[in-house]
Amino acid sequence: MSFSNLGLSDKVLAAVAATGYTTPTPIQEKAIPHVLARRDVLGIAQTGTGKTAAFVLPMLTLLEKGRARARMPRTLILEPTRELAAQVKENFDKYGAGQKLNVALLIGGVSFGDQDVKLMRGVDVLIATPGRLLDHTERGGLLLTGVELLVIDEADRMLDMGFIPDIERICKLVPFTRQTLFFTATMPSEIRRITETFLHNPEKVEVSKPASTAVTVTQSQVSVGREPHEKREVLRQLLREAKDLKNAIIFCNRKREVALLHRSLQKHGFGAAALHGDMDQSARMTALDQFRKGELPLLVASDVAARGLDIPEVSHVFNFDVPHHPDDYVHRIGRTGRAGRLGTAISIVSPSDQKSLLAIEKLIGQPIARTETNHIVSAEASPVPASDGEKASGDRKPRRERSRGGRNKSPRPEGSQRPEAVAAPQQPPSIGRVRPAAASREQFSEPGDHSHLPAFLLRPIRARG
């Protein structure tokens, strides 16, 4: 099968050829003809399957005819996070370079005024996060009655983030006669209900089982004790000893843990970026950019911030915390072992993670192999405790609060967090629960002596202008 058999326009085919892609991915092959035939589509596909192009390419073809009117976008794409929205915009920029289309982003962290100016000019493709979109409609600056095609992307993630009521409101603001493309990686009952309400006789297109993990990913788990610092020590050891580690995403369950671990890794000389919902837009983009370009080989991230991001060729995924939702495990480890490449996923499991781990093993239908480290746990003082009531799902924020202005305010600005305590142990090192062996190298290193680290982990952080 080649792209030219799918019914795409010549302009779009030329743009695809320019990117070097020769064969459509299964989701593209199955979905594109239905989109061009103006059918509703229910796409069950994980990120990494090429699903973005599966809706972007036919949309570009359909949009060649017609013109946008002021404040009335012709098509609307809903994304759960700003990064995903920006990523979809990049796809339009890439494939739509030969077309004079107005593509606008409506995401938080950008001034309403600039966005209003764009909307006034008339928009062919509006890519938005639900909260910001509703803020614009409530202010009267945006009319959704001209939307011919609606894309709801990463719907299961929208559910996790509490966006479903917003999605339902938006669906009622766009014409009943619109075409709807709906993408989700999994089909929990709430998502099924939404598809039954808002899709009309959809073509169901599924490319892989929702709960399957790629066979190219080697999964393992390492047990640690209850003390938070044990996880950090074991992680550092795993990073040093990992075979073929080129770059890694390290997932934490809480935003606060992301910030703490990031600082801790930096302090220990690792080149790490952080990605979580309390960071402002430009800091998130910078972090992502540094990681994508390989300037920083480690990315510490929360689920919501990292979900769906297109980061090719990640060699390792570490679960610093085992996710509470088993689906998140599948998504996390799906960041590695993409497109047939080999990947490694290692979970660091404390006693409180055990319940979540069992749920994951049940979902993926296989046990996760246990491995041991030669780890000696030092009696490191505990860092700042996690903030009270912080949700495990990280970046979730009720709409009411968002509308009041501030987005995801941290209880304490990141810069003012107390640094991880790495002072000399108060008492002699205790032997960890794992196989006793020679003390870890770091215990005998001078502060600032990183000679034991692989060179690429020590690359300096380049300041950006």
SS3 293: coil
Q: Which residue has the tokens 């580690």?
A: 245
Smaller CB distance to ligand AMP: residue 45 or 348? 45
Smaller CB distance to ligand AMP: residue 49 or 221? 49
The letter for the amino acid at 461 is: I
Smaller CB distance to ligand AMP: residue 51 or 256? 51
Q: What would the x/- binding string for ligand AMP be over residues 296 to 315, using CB under 6 A?
A: --------------x-x---
Q: What part of residues 382-411 is at the interface with ligand AMP (CB under 6 A)?
A: none
* Shortest Cβ 53–ligand AMP spacing (Å): 4
The letter for the amino acid at 150 is: L
* Shortest Cβ 275–ligand AMP spacing (Å): 16
131 CB burial (10 A radius; 0-12, 13-18, 19+): buried
C-alpha distances out from residue 369 to 344, 349, 357, 366, 372, Å: 12, 12, 12, 9, 10
CA–CA distance, 101 with 62 (Å, rounded to integer): 12
* Shortest Cβ 88–ligand AMP spacing (Å): 9
CA–CA distance, 328 with 344 (Å, rounded to integer): 16
* Shortest Cβ 276–ligand AMP spacing (Å): 20
* Shortest Cβ 46–ligand AMP spacing (Å): 7
Smaller CB distance to ligand AMP: residue 231 or 335? 335
* Shortest Cβ 8–ligand AMP spacing (Å): 12
Smaller CB distance to ligand AMP: residue 246 or 355? 246
Smaller CB distance to ligand AMP: residue 82 or 397? 82
CA–CA distance, 76 with 11 (Å, rounded to integer): 22
- Do residues 370 and 84 touch, judged by C-beta distance below 8 A? no
Chain center to CA of 113: 28
Q: What part of residues 96-115 is at the interface with ligand AMP (CB under 6 A)?
A: none
Q: Which of 7, 13, 21, 208 binds ligand AMP (CB under 6 A)?
A: 21
Smaller CB distance to ligand AMP: residue 21 or 112? 21
Smaller CB distance to ligand AMP: residue 271 or 308? 308
Q: What part of residues 25-64 is at the interface with ligand AMP (CB under 6 A)?
A: 25, 28, 47-53
- The yes or no reply on residue 157 touching ligand AMP (CB under 6 A) is no
DSSP letter string over 146-211?
Answer: T--EEEE-SHHHHHHTT-HHHHHHHHHHS-TT-EEEEEES---HHHHHHHHHH-SSPEEEE-S-TT
**From the CA atom positions of the chain, what is the Rg in Å?**
23
Half-sphere exposure of 325 (CA within 13 A, CB side): 20
CA–CA distance, 195 with 189 (Å, rounded to integer): 10
- Do residues 28 and 6 touch, judged by C-beta distance below 8 A? yes
Chain residue at closest Cβ approach to ligand AMP: 52
Task: Choose the binding region for ligand AMP from 16-24, 112-120, 356-364, 440-448 (rule: CB under 6 A).
Answer: 16-24
**# of chain residues touching ligand AMP (CB under 6 A):** 14
* Shortest Cβ 86–ligand AMP spacing (Å): 13
Residues that bind ligand AMP (CB under 6 A): 21, 23-25, 28, 47-53, 310, 312
